[in-house]
Structure 1
């Protein structure tokens, strides 16, 4: 998911600030306990803490162990923010798990530049060519492959068809003004239009990023990153449009303190029918059903609307992928597990049981959910693609994007101040 990017800080400072105790890594810096027992223990850190994914992944690890009796998979599962806090300290200490979750982009590049991540280009070439090119894109750095995807997708609006119908909205909006009209129509019927996890900040970033893309086009967002200048008209206008939305008070009560996947959080509000929409990635239906009841046939999907007069188009998408990387000099057993996880059989199981989009070309026929099929179709037809900003940029810049946009939504920063703060941080990272 496009959550707050990792920041590289001193190990003691990071640990003290987060109140962290270090988790012992059995697989770091060697071949685990292979020398004494003949068993190689591979430590696998992931963020799949919600059901059904948690149990499906645990079962897959057991299946791999049964096929490889001399390998033990030690699973460490952490919620998103806890995972990033732990990884921040581990990166600073120079030690990473054998296998760990990655979103690619700027965070992965910093890990690679620090010499902490294994180059998988040669070790996976035999089978990685069977993966969809768009799914591998976030893990390609200077033409070398540093991660293997297990999911790819894009961010869009997930909505409650029944609540739209009650508000008299017959079709999802395709323009920003139409979207604002939809918000007002929902409010007129005392329906909370949008659920937002204000506490975690990254969900709010999605709005600002998409608006900047719709106003200036995907190229404008990419050029701003290259120039380290986010003060251009597209970004200021994006802030103004988001401020206008926030002024309508479209979010659920207490949204500034709401988390994403908690029982009282963003996903649950939509899953329980207490809010009509959320802007989220392709994993949304699974989390809505885990945190809440889920909407079943009442759940629909539509792409982020176009901004009138903007240079961007509906076919330019914002999203990313979820994948795994290996620590440098990870044992062959870790590579073997990635191959197992990226096999057609496993990918089909992930698609049918956990709702991910397929990353193996041969597994695409396993996708039957109409909403996810719509996401996959739009993703494959995309004319432009932008990785989550808090993953595409250097960690400090990504965090500043999240923090500044959250302040804008809360009313404590102006659109101009948001653009200036992000630019200042980007230039300091030079």
Structure 2
């Protein structure tokens, strides 16, 4: 994985989504078999904090009770340690039996290296139970190389009380309305948007979503294939983001602010000092952890449409998590992944608040009201785009983050952003 992407968010939101305290484990990445048909499946995961830590332990017990010949050896790592360990292992030409993946460019590199199984046949009977959005990050050239376990999307979280103070009756549905609302908030003495500028990745959400709304999902796909980001949708995305940045909508000192630290983006939002933040489904938990949290004053709305744009407002941008199976793993590894992601078991995971629905019709299992709103938006998504700093090769993703941060900071033009990303892509 590109270690520079959402690492801080993933760690800060670990109690909700991914996981964040280190643990030790076997680095061999190989299954252990013994006489008598008994098999050990090594499962590398990032379920190191609650609620998934306890849920995972119980799931293993339940699975092993049904499959006494199979032992699941859990190898948990915190997020950054996991990525480092997995990179070292895969570079040696090996992969764990079952391991966490976020799909996109890194999974593609593992596929090219022959390290993961094509699950199109083995999982063919149950692939159809997943939503298209959940599957998209793990499908390459029509084949499925991992099974989704979690999904989320980025959208605007907003403070209803501050919107009301500024005389804003309802969230904006178009970019021009968003710009107008930013002006209204400033006039009312309210900081419109919280942003962790130092971390860079939160800013890339704006540019990516604008490119999606202007050019549609096909524009992003074609740019990834042609390695050319100089087209109109990407330049115009930069122009519209500059339009926003020129209004100085962010909190004071945002360029030096991180996402999850005290005084950062999440704390600014959670303490009621800004009206909006563009962030993933983990935002409410991190706002409460870093600040006080907004309670019933917190609302959510999808990224607005751009007038005349080719993209639909129902196209979602985000990511999730899934499980890939190493090419040398025993068949029993598939049984474990199937167990975790079939409806009866997966609904238990969703009910903990640790993951969001990936199966069709699973939305009612979500108990948290904020997560329920996100789940419903995802269930109705007409298309899904993985975070650009995961969807593209790591160096390209890093350049997106860096260049967009410079655009927001006023040191790069929209055209220079598009050119820099293109040059990096073509050098890969």
Tell me if TM exceeds 0.5: yes
TM-score (norm 2): 0.83
Matched, 1:409 2:395: no
TM-score (norm 1): 0.83
Q: Does structure 1 retain, via aligned residues, the 8 Å contact 2:41–2:333?
A: no
Q: Which residue of 1 aligns with 2:42?
A: 42
Q: 1:370 deviation in Å?
A: 4.9
Q: Which residue of 1 aligns with 2:200?
A: 201
Separation in 2, partners of 1:132, 1:159? 27
Q: Which residue of 1 aligns with 2:116?
A: 117
Q: Which residue of 1 aligns with 2:246?
A: 247
Q: Does structure 2 retain, via aligned residues, the 8 Å contact 1:286–1:354?
A: no
Q: Cα deviation per residue 1:216-274 (whole Å; 9 max; x = unaligned)?
A: 23332222223221111221121122122223332334433444344544334333333
Q: Which residue of 1 aligns with 2:228?
A: 229
Q: Cα deviation per residue 1:158-188 (whole Å; 9 max; x = unaligned)?
A: 1121222222222111122221222233334
Separation in 1, partners of 2:192, 2:330? 49
Q: Does structure 1 retain, via aligned residues, the 8 Å contact 2:266–2:291?
A: yes
Q: Does structure 1 retain, via aligned residues, the 8 Å contact 2:30–2:95?
A: no
- Is the alpha carbon distance of 1:166 and 1:85 closer, same or farther for their aligned partners in structure 2, counting shifts above 3 Å? farther
Separation in 2, partners of 1:113, 1:284? 34
Q: Cα deviation per residue 1:348-374 (whole Å; 9 max; x = unaligned)?
A: 222222163312235333235554444
Q: Which residue of 2 aligns with 1:307?
A: 306
Q: Cα deviation per residue 1:134-178 (whole Å; 9 max; x = unaligned)?
A: 321221222222111112243211112122222222211112222
Q: What is the number of residues matched between the two proteins?
A: 411
- Is the alpha carbon distance of 1:276 and 1:143 closer, same or farther for their aligned partners in structure 2, counting shifts above 3 Å? same
Report the more deviating stretch, 286-295 or 214-223: 286-295
After TM superposition, the structure 1 = structure 2 runs for residues 45-124 of structure 1, keeping only pairs within 5 Å, are 45-46=45-46, 51-61=50-60, 63-64=62-63, 71-79=71-79, 81=80, 83-124=82-123
Q: 1:66 deviation in Å?
A: 5.6
- Is the alpha carbon distance of 1:51 and 1:255 closer, same or farther for their aligned partners in structure 2, counting shifts above 3 Å? farther
- Is the alpha carbon distance of 1:127 and 1:217 closer, same or farther for their aligned partners in structure 2, counting shifts above 3 Å? closer
For the residue of structure 2 that corresponds to 1:311, the secondary structure is: coil
- Is the alpha carbon distance of 1:234 and 1:130 closer, same or farther for their aligned partners in structure 2, counting shifts above 3 Å? closer
Q: Which residue of 1 aligns with 2:11?
A: none
Separation in 1, partners of 2:26, 2:271? 41
Separation in 2, partners of 1:31, 1:74? 12
Q: Which residue of 2 aligns with 1:422?
A: 421
For the residue of structure 2 that corresponds to 1:163, the secondary structure is: helix
For the residue of structure 2 that corresponds to 1:123, the secondary structure is: coil
- Is the alpha carbon distance of 1:192 and 1:305 closer, same or farther for their aligned partners in structure 2, counting shifts above 3 Å? same
- Is the alpha carbon distance of 1:218 and 1:142 closer, same or farther for their aligned partners in structure 2, counting shifts above 3 Å? closer
Root-mean-square deviation over aligned CA pairs:
3.2
Separation in 2, partners of 1:333, 1:410? 51
Gaps of at least 5 residues in structure 1 are: 7-22
Q: 1:211 deviation in Å?
A: 1.0
Q: Does structure 2 retain, via aligned residues, the 8 Å contact 1:156–1:304?
A: yes
Q: Which residue of 2 aligns with 1:31?
A: 31
Q: Which residue of 2 aligns with 1:183?
A: 182
Separation in 2, partners of 1:49, 1:191? 38
Q: Which residue of 1 aligns with 2:18?
A: none
Q: Which residue of 1 aligns with 2:144?
A: 145
- Is the alpha carbon distance of 1:168 and 1:412 closer, same or farther for their aligned partners in structure 2, counting shifts above 3 Å? same
- Is the alpha carbon distance of 1:422 and 1:90 closer, same or farther for their aligned partners in structure 2, counting shifts above 3 Å? farther
Separation in 2, partners of 1:228, 1:237? 18
Q: Which residue of 2 aligns with 1:360?
A: 359
- Is the alpha carbon distance of 1:261 and 1:215 closer, same or farther for their aligned partners in structure 2, counting shifts above 3 Å? same
For the residue of structure 2 that corresponds to 1:386, the secondary structure is: strand
Separation in 1, partners of 2:51, 2:289? 8
Separation in 1, partners of 2:371, 2:58? 24
Q: Which residue of 1 aligns with 2:315?
A: 316
Gaps of at least 5 residues in structure 2 are: 7-22
Report the more deviating stretch, 61-70 or 203-212: 61-70
Report the more deviating stretch, 61-70 or 126-135: 61-70
Q: Does structure 2 retain, via aligned residues, the 8 Å contact 1:351–1:358?
A: yes
- Is the alpha carbon distance of 1:160 and 1:401 closer, same or farther for their aligned partners in structure 2, counting shifts above 3 Å? same
Q: Cα deviation per residue 1:176-222 (whole Å; 9 max; x = unaligned)?
A: 22212222333344433222233332221110011112222333222
Q: Which residue of 1 aligns with 2:16?
A: none
Q: 1:126 deviation in Å?
A: 4.2
